[in-house]
Amino acid sequence: MARLTTIKPMISRIAPRMTAAAATYSPDTRGDWSKLYDMRSWRGEPHGLRWRTLLRDHFTCQMCGKVEASTKRLIGDHLVPHKGDIRLFLDPDNVWCLCASCHDVECQTIEAMLFDGDEIRSAKISRRVVGFDGVARTPKCRWVDQRRKA
């Protein structure tokens, strides 16, 4: 009869293969994209795209019109999800300023329901009802997609 001590070496050879397979099939697809948000061209204080977007939008949420004093509560949201595409990621016309609540609720819901970039962009822009001065405005603004007119 075989000893039980022979099972231990077999398990130690199987365990590394099991962890590698788990890492390959991980449901987290943002792993590669999160590095983009650490780039100096995005995060850099005076010249980064996020900071320039916050200044351009006057630290005002473009969906609800809320003005935030703390920049930690403001998010530079991509109108069309970049999905790792560096050109879309660094396109200033593809980024707008949102408060955390609008980003986490409205935008994430839109992105979960729609898959086409142009549809997502149109749906997000259609939710923009407040201007810089707090007066309701039509959704036609500087983010109206010029490609659709062509």
Q: One digit per residue, pLDDT tens: the chain, 150 residues? A: 555 555 555 555 555 544 443 333 333 455 567 888 888 899 887 789 999 999 988 888 888 888 888 888 999 999 999 888 889 999 999 999 999 999 999 999 999 998 888 899 989 888 886 655 555 555 444 444 444 444
* 6 Rama sector, left if φ>0, alpha if ψ -120 to 50, beta otherwise: alpha
> How many C-beta atoms lie closer than 10 Å to residue 11's C-beta?
9
**pTM of the model as a whole:** 0.66
Spell out the alpha helix ranges (H) of 25-116: 40-43, 49-56, 86-89, 100-102, 108-113
Q: List b or e across 27-56, with b for residues whose CB sees 16 or more CB atoms inside 10 angstroms.
A: eeeeeeeeebeeeeebeeeeebbbbebbee
Q: What is the DSSP letter of 103?
A: I
